[in-house]
């Protein structure tokens, strides 16, 4: 028996049928759907009419161009609405407007310190959302979902940030309550590195169910994809490797971390810690990008510090590999752009310290979606929600009422 057909038959609701179309770029015909679902032609006709009527499916572009009898192919209507996305980092933010295929139609960047608090930061986000809608000639009512990611732990169910170490004034702040009402659409809030991990997995490694995303920016964090889903943990705090404590031989006194503890991974290897150490060594650096430039230029102190950071990151990642056994580790964040120095160091420690079984098929790669991994991941999470069977049924019911 064909296992593909068996799996598809389990979900023959309009939403289940729409899901068949999501994974094929050039669309499907009625006959394809009959064959893949085992449903009768009459039922398939009804389902497709509902999906076409709700604007969720449209005739494939080549059919629209053909003057003669169309071949009857249909594709997902990527222009059914738009998504607004905001990837908020420690020192900068990126906003984007996407179609329902997750393609970025326009985007903005801004320098913005997250510790100035939610009012200041979200004002910038809201202003950019307005600009993006104007630029792409969309109305507020075209917005089907908003996604926001932040550099701190999030209670995913409520969209509230929880006790974030670096996000002054954001604790328990209601982000959906602030940005949602104008557009009357769902708002999803997640930790930045979770969104990055999901984007990487869905768009670059769809065949990989277990992926670890390591972000080395101002701070250090990981996003875990286990069994094809984001593993957020009981309270949204999973993957916080930046605050694992490590012992480093050449350090008499472990450095103070932003979280209040001492000797954390990011207190040695985060971008902010490299800036601190370079300044102590007499270098004129203020930002993580300055530190990245210095490492790339081959400055001996900067390279030595980057190598030490790589070894420490390797220890934390090796522990994560032993615990989660990912197939792919994707590395992003500003410090992932320091040539091979950092990668080579992390790889060496991970392969030395992890169990052979866990590294047998492990790939350690640079994120190819970065710096858009966050917004791309948010778009995928939102589209999952929009195409969830119950929401598809709602859109059809609204039309038929
Ligand atoms: Zn810490």
Q: What is the tens place of the pLDDT at every residue in 253-304?
A: 999 998 899 999 999 999 999 999 999 999 999 999 999 999 999 999 999 9
Instruction: Tell me if domain 82-197+374-400 and domain 206-367 are identical in fold.
Output: yes
Sheet holding 82-88, edge to edge: 104-111, 92-98, 82-88, 143-150, 187-191
The closest alpha carbon to 268, from 290, 253, 285, belongs to 253
How many angstroms separate the CA atoms of 250 and 264, rounded?
A: 15
User: Does residue 313 contact residue 214 with C-beta atoms inside 8 Å?
Assistant: yes
Residue 69 has pLDDT above 70, yes or no: no
Helices (H), 23-149: 30-37, 41-53, 61-65, 118-135
Q: How far is the CA of 79 from the centre of ligand 1 (A)?
A: 44
Res 208: pLDDT = 97
Per residue in 73-131, pLDDT tens? 999 999 999 999 999 999 899 999 999 999 999 999 999 999 999 999 999 999 999 99
Domain definitions of the chain by residue range: 3-76, 82-197+374-400, 206-367
The closest alpha carbon to 242, from 173, 299, 296, 319, belongs to 319
Listed as own residue / partner, the contacts of 127-130 with beta carbons closer than 8 Å and 24 or more positions apart are 128/86, 128/95, 129/84, 129/86, 129/95, 129/97, 129/179
Res 67: pLDDT = 53
- Phi/psi at 150 (5° precision): -135, 155
Mean pLDDT of 50-63: 88
Per residue in 131-189, pLDDT tens? 999 999 999 999 999 999 999 999 999 999 988 888 889 999 999 999 999 999 999 99
**CATH 1.10.10.10 for the 3-76 domain, yes or no:** yes
Q: How far is the CA of 9 from the centre of ligand 1 (A)?
A: 49
The closest alpha carbon to 52, from 88, 80, 87, 71, belongs to 80
Which string of DSSP letters, residue by residue, matches 152-201? S-EETTTTEE-S-SS-TT-TT-BHHHHHSTTTTS-EEEEEHHHHHHHHHH
DSSP structural state of residue 109: E
- Phi/psi at 65 (5° precision): -80, -30
Res 128: pLDDT = 98
To which H or E segment does residue 373 belong?
helix 373-386
pLDDT grade for 46, boundaries at 50, 70 and 90: very high
Res 70: pLDDT = 55
State the fold for domain 82-197+374-400.
Nucleotidyltransferase; domain 5 (3.30.420)
Mean pLDDT of the residues in the chain: 91
Res 1: pLDDT = 42
Res 61: pLDDT = 82
Q: What angle do CA 293, 296, 302 make, to 5 degrees?
A: 80
Residue 381 has pLDDT above 80, yes or no: yes
Residue 65 has pLDDT above 70, yes or no: no
State the fold for domain 206-367.
Nucleotidyltransferase; domain 5 (3.30.420)
pLDDT grade for 72, boundaries at 50, 70 and 90: confident
CB-based contacts of 280: which residues, under 8 Å, 6+ apart?
Answer: none
Write out the residues surrounding ion ligand 1, Cβ under 5 A.
Answer: 243, 257, 259, 261, 264
How many angstroms separate the CA atoms of 306 and 292, rounded?
A: 9
Q: How far is the CA of 267 from the centre of ligand 1 (A)?
A: 7
Res 7: pLDDT = 47
Q: How far is the CA of 248 from the centre of ligand 1 (A)?
A: 15
Q: How far is the CA of 166 from the centre of ligand 1 (A)?
A: 10
Per residue in 213-250, pLDDT tens? 999 999 999 999 999 999 999 888 888 899 999 988 87
Res 71: pLDDT = 66
User: For the chain, how many helices (H) and strands (E)?
Assistant: 16, 15
A 10 A CB-CB count for 235 gives 12
Res 355: pLDDT = 87
User: Does residue 192 contact residue 215 with C-beta atoms inside 8 Å?
Assistant: yes
pTM, entire model: 0.90
Q: How far is the CA of 388 from the centre of ligand 1 (A)?
A: 38
How many angstroms separate the CA atoms of 384 and 11, rounded?
A: 15
């Amino acid at each position: 028996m064909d296992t593909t057909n068996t799996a598809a038959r389990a979900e023959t609701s309009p939403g289940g049928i729409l899901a068949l179309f999501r994974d094929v770029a050039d669309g499907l015909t009625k006959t394809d759907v009959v064959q893949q679902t085992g449903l009768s032609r009459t039922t398939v006709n009804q389902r497709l009419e509902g999906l076409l009527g709700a604007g969720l499916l449209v005739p494939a572009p080549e059919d629209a161009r053909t003057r003669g009898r169309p071949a009857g192919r249909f594709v997902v209507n990527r222009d059914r609405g738009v998504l607004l996305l905001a990837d908020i980092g420690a020192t900068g933010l990126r906003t984007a407007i996407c179609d329902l295929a997750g393609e970025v139609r326009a985007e903005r960047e801004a320098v913005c310190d997250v510790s100035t608090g939610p009012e200041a930061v979200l004002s910038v986000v809201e202003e950019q959302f307005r600009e993006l809608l104007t630029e792409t000639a969309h109305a507020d009512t075209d917005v089907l979902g908003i996604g926001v990611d932040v550099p701190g732990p999030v209670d995913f169910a409520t969209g509230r940030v929880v006790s974030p170490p670096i996000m002054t004034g954001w604790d328990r702040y209601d982000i959906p309550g602030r940005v949602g009402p104008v557009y009357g659409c769902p708002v999803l809030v997640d930790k930045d590195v979770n969104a990055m991990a999901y984007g990487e997995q869905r768009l670059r490694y769809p065949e990989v169910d277990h992926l670890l995303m390591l972000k080395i920016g101002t701070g250090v964090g990981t996003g875990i994809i286990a069994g094809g889903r984001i593993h957020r943990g009981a309270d949204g705090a999973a993957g916080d490797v930046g605050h694992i404590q490590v012992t480093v031989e050449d350090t008499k006194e472990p450095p103070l971390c932003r979280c209040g503890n001492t000797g954390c991974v990011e207190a040695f290897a985060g971008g902010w810690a490299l800036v601190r150490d370079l300044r102590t060594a007499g270098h004129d650096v203020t930002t993580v990008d300055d530190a990245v430039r210095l490492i790339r230029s081959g400055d001996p102190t900067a390279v030595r510090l980057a190598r030490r950071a790589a070894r420490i990151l390797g220890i934390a990642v090796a522990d994560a590999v032993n615990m989660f056994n990912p197939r792919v580790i994707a590395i992003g964040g500003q410090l992932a752009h320091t040539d091979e120095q950092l990668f080579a160091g992390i790889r060496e420690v991970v392969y030395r310290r992890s169990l052979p079984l866990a590294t047998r098929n492990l790939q350690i790669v640079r994120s190819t979606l970065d710096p858009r991994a966050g917004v791309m991941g948010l778009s995928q999470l939102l589209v999952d929600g929009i195409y969830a069977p119950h929401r598809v049924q709602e859109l059809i019911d609204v039309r038929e009422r």
